Amino acid sequence: MSGEVRYERLGSAAVLTIDRPERRNAIDAASAAALRRGFDEFEADDGARALVLTGAGGEAFCAGADLKAIDLDVDDPAGPLGFTRLTPSKPAIAAIDGWCLAGGLELALWCDLRIGTRTSSFGFFERRWGVPLVDGGTQRLPRIVGLGRAMDLILTGRPVDAEEALRIGLLNETVDPGQHLRRALELAERIAAFPQETMLADRRAAIEGSGLPLSEGLALEHRLGRETLHVAVEGAARFAAGEGRGGQGV
């Protein structure tokens, strides 16, 4: 792994850290390649049940493409920032502190969940330089916050503070400064504790069904749900035996 991107296992989570604080964790070709290698390592690691994506230094999660390098491959099938045109087979959580801008915001949108500190800030600041969104931002943001709010952020490039980001659904949760990684790891462990086969099937149905007509989405849910009914039978038996009463384990 490149020194500019660190991959480590912490419990059930694989933590992928963009480590270019002197560039506000902006991504050049070398760090994009390292992000892709980290993605591949996560996918191959059966013990890593969730990916936590974060940035080093505290000033920024990621400021997007390194505009001083201008060496990213826009035509890379996996995405200019390493893996933004790929879908992970397991949950991903963005742990955000400081600036989350441009392609960095697109990286955060790539994740299933986003935890941000109360001092974090968001925006497509590349709007002022004429740089396009090519890492999924135009497709994922409307799915997360709705088309109207997405168009506001895409067209104006204005800054969004953590309070607004939480209110519109861009963030799932806010935490005190410095607590973003700890909270993301807590969520990763909680997710890892559930029966994985059913949880992953439900996740897949939600992701793949979001762009389908309702009837097709329901059919997908039905098909994936039937494939995991044996897990449900086992879980129902545990519940009947007294496990999990009163919401324990949730």
Q: What is the DSSP string of 49-83?
A: -EEEEEESSSSEEE--B-TTT----TT-TT-TTSS
> Is 91 buried (19+), middle (13-18) or exposed (0-12) by CB count in 10 A?
buried
Q: Please spell the DSSP secondary structure of 118-175, one letter per residue.
A: TT-EEE-GGGGGT----SSHHHHHHHHH-HHHHHHHHHH---EEHHHHHHHTS-SEEE
Cα angle for residues 190, 196, 201 (degrees, 5° grid): 120
**DSSP reduced 3-state for 16:** strand
Closest CA to 87 of 43, 131, 129, 54: 43
Distance CA 164, CA 168 (A): 6
pLDDT tens digit sequence for 158-209: 999 999 999 999 999 999 999 999 999 999 999 999 999 999 999 999 999 9
Question: Once rounded to an integer, what is the mean pLDDT over residues 221-228?
Answer: 94
Closest CA to 15 of 55, 52, 57: 52
Is the pLDDT reported for residue 227 higher than 80?
Answer: yes
**DSSP reduced 3-state for 97:** coil
Quick check: 21 and 53 in contact, CB under 8 A?
no
Distance CA 137, CA 150 (A): 9
Question: Which residue did the predictor score with more confidence, 241 or 62?
Answer: 62
Among all residues, which ones are annotated catalytic? 106, 126
Q: Residues of the chain with pLDDT > 70: what percent?
A: 92
pTM above 0.85, yes or no: yes
- What is the number of residues in the chain? 250
Q: How confident is the model at residue 230 (pLDDT cuts 50, 70, 90)?
A: confident
Q: Which two tokens stand for residue 165?
A: 């980001």
Distance CA 43, CA 49 (A): 9
**DSSP reduced 3-state for 88:** coil
Non-local CB neighbours of 167 within 8 Å, separated by 6+ positions: none
pLDDT for 25 equals 96
CATH of domain 5-192: 3.90.226.10
**DSSP reduced 3-state for 229:** helix
Is the pLDDT reported for residue 27 higher than 80?
Answer: yes
